[in-house]
Chains A and B, each alone.
Chain A
Amino acid sequence: MSRLLKEERLGRKALLTRNLVPGKRVYNEDLLQRGGAEYRTWDPFRSKLAAAMIKGLPDSAVGEGAKVLYLGASTGTTVSHVSDLVGPGGLVVGVEFSPRVAREFIEKVARERGNVIPFVADARDPSKYSVAKFDVVYCDIAQPDQTEIALANCAALLKPGGTLLLVVKARSIDVLKDPERVFIEEEKKLRAGGFDVKSVTELSPFEKDHALIHAVMDSEG
């Protein structure tokens, strides 16, 4: 069965990911049995990737077996679901700068999951975690130059033809500018950086002033 399920729950679209570590919860998500396997509910209000998938981002963006570089792991809520999605054959390298939240990320996610490797490091310095070349770079960091940071990481560690999932935090880039315009400008930066932008998904009503850009690195790059 698929590692990601979409279904109606309580009259709403809901996502479930197949639990890599059956019986274990990461936060207080529900555990459900579907087709003989255990699944974890994936709350779009807590995870921007879930929000994007509900709003149309193709599931294939994070496929089974993928090697994912996750920048801005935070407490690891979303990382745990990415770890479910890529499964035992995949790999998630989670990078978090703040020791305070990294503590929870390591205890609840990295220690429990064999496909998660944690780094307490600055995403401005990819050499600190250059342990592999990745199929996917997921970037969710609150920095004004987040797009440049993501591009630098892709240049160093993303395979040609690999996927970039960039969470654009309009309010972190410029509090005054209209978010729509920030999205367009960041998208331009990606194109200039040799990316083919597949989609820009606004994340309302789950997140305010956020969008997720799905882009693919040109193969020649």
Chain B
Amino acid sequence: MSGEGIPENQDVEALRQKSIAAAEEAIRQASSRPDLHLVQAIQALDDTDKYLNITATRASEWYGLHFPELAQMVQDNVVLCKMISEIGGRGAYSLEALAGRGFTDKKVEAIMEAKERSKGGEISDGDITKVKSLASLAVQLSALRGGLNDYVEAQMKRVAPNVSEVAGATIGARLMAKAGGLDRLAVLPASTIQILGAEKALFRSLRTGARPPKHGILFQHQAVHAAPKWQRGKIARTLANKIAIAARVDYYRGSEDPTIKAGLDKRLEGIKERYKEPPQRRPEQRDRPRREGRPPRRDKFRRR
């Protein structure tokens, strides 16, 4: 029973080989897309941030047993780790060792004084060696982080100049990562872009009728998080609108369009002007956080 189009046996093998070659070519094509590399870079950046934090915190905690006063005086964890790895134990602190680290004379004096009357315990050679390598790893991670950051910014300017301009390079790259590439970001509705990264809150809202999230990744944007609370939703919505436009221009046209950013700035200006004052709080809102006039959507057959 050979229906139409069914290849004979030898043909099957030829077709199979052709198909494999074509599929591999498609994969090769897809794997060289610069936006996918950018997605990996931003995720590497975010990963590195995490490692850096963990490593530097551990190094300063451990070192704190030996010289707790230093962590108090040097707030920046990376600077602290640099000192730990380069200077080592408390006994090694001297005016020379502290020179050229950007400390004021007063600070150097304070550190030297803290060294003399430190409440820290003794540390063995074995321990200080380990703390030093941990601290030196943190310093390296910090350098890697800086390099990745510069790379993401430079690549965003090339791959998605308008998104980069409107959202900022790192936030734009994170949105792209969430969407799965510039092509996918370019077809997302602005409302989805607005809450990318807030999926948990979104589905909770859909399920229970709780208030929907106003922003996901976009909260990291300075225009959103620096704004007063009551403006944030409006700003996030406007920002998402402009990012949606920017992504489409980037993907389909590929040239810079400064009017998008200008339009955003104008709209933000308008929001700040118009909603200067916090809205009057209705007294019943305290007891009932849910919005009035819009009963939660419930499925009749919902389980639980």
**A interface residues with partner B (beta carbon < 8 Å):** 67, 91, 99, 102-103, 106, 110-111, 114-120, 130-133, 159, 175-178, 180-181
Cβ 8 A contact of A102, one of B3, B23, B297: B23
Q: How far is the CA of A91 from the CA of B4 in the complex (A)?
A: 15
* Nearest CB of chain B from residue A143's CB, rounded to whole Å: 14
Given known pairs A91-B12, A99-B27, A175-B203, the reply for A106 and B20 (CB within 8 Å) is yes
Q: Which residues of B contact A119 (CB under 8 A)?
A: 19, 22-23
Bound CA span A116–B20, Å: 10
B206 at the interface (CB under 8 A from A): yes
> Which residues from A are CB-within-8-Å of B13?
114
Whether A120 contacts B203 in the complex (CB less than 8 A), given A67-B6, A131-B7, A132-B7, comes out as no
What's the interface size class on B, roughly? 20 to 34
Q: Which residues of A contact B289 (CB under 8 A)?
A: none
Inter-subunit contact B5/A110 (CB<8 Å): no
From known contacts A176-B297, A176-B302, infer whether A111 and B30 are also in contact, taking CB-CB under 8 Å.
Answer: no
- Is A133 a contact partner of B5 (Cβ separation < 8 A)? yes
* Chain A positions within 8 Å of B22 at CB level: 119-120
> Given A106-B24, A114-B13, A180-B301, is A99 in contact with B19 using a C-beta cutoff of 8 Å?
no
Query: Using a CB–CB distance below 8 Å, which chain B residues touch chain A?
Result: 3-7, 12-13, 15-16, 19-20, 22-24, 26-27, 30-31, 203, 206-207, 297, 299, 301-303
Query: Are A99 and B301 within 8 A (Cβ)?
Result: no
Task: A132-B7, A177-B301 are known; give 19 further A-B pairs, CB within 8 A.
Answer: A99-B27, A106-B27, A110-B23, A118-B23, A119-B23, A120-B22, A131-B15, A131-B19, A132-B3, A133-B3, A133-B6, A176-B207, A176-B297, A176-B299, A176-B302, A178-B303, A180-B301, A181-B299, A181-B301
Given the interface pairs A110-B20, A131-B5, the reply to whether A120 lies near B27 with Cβ below 8 Å is yes
Given known pairs A117-B16, A181-B301, the reply for A130 and B206 (CB within 8 Å) is no
Interface centre among A99, A111, A115 (most CB of B within 10 A): A99
Measured CA separation A117–B15 after assembly (Å): 8
Whether the pair A99, B31 counts as a contact (CB closer than 8 A) is: yes
- Return chain A residues, CB-CB under 8 Å to B19: 110, 117-119, 131
Interchain CA distance A110-B21 in the complex, whole Å: 11
Instruction: Please indicate the chain B residues that have their CB under 8 angstroms from the CB of A130 in the complex.
Output: 5
CA distance A115 to B20 in the complex (A): 12
Distance between Cα atoms of A180 and B302 in the complex (Å): 10
Q: Quick one: closest A residue to B17, CB to CB?
A: A117
7 contacts between A and B (CB under 8 A): A106-B20, A110-B16, A117-B19, A118-B23, A120-B26, A133-B4, A178-B301
List, in ascending order, chain A residues with CB within 8 A of B27's CB. Answer: 99, 102-103, 106, 120
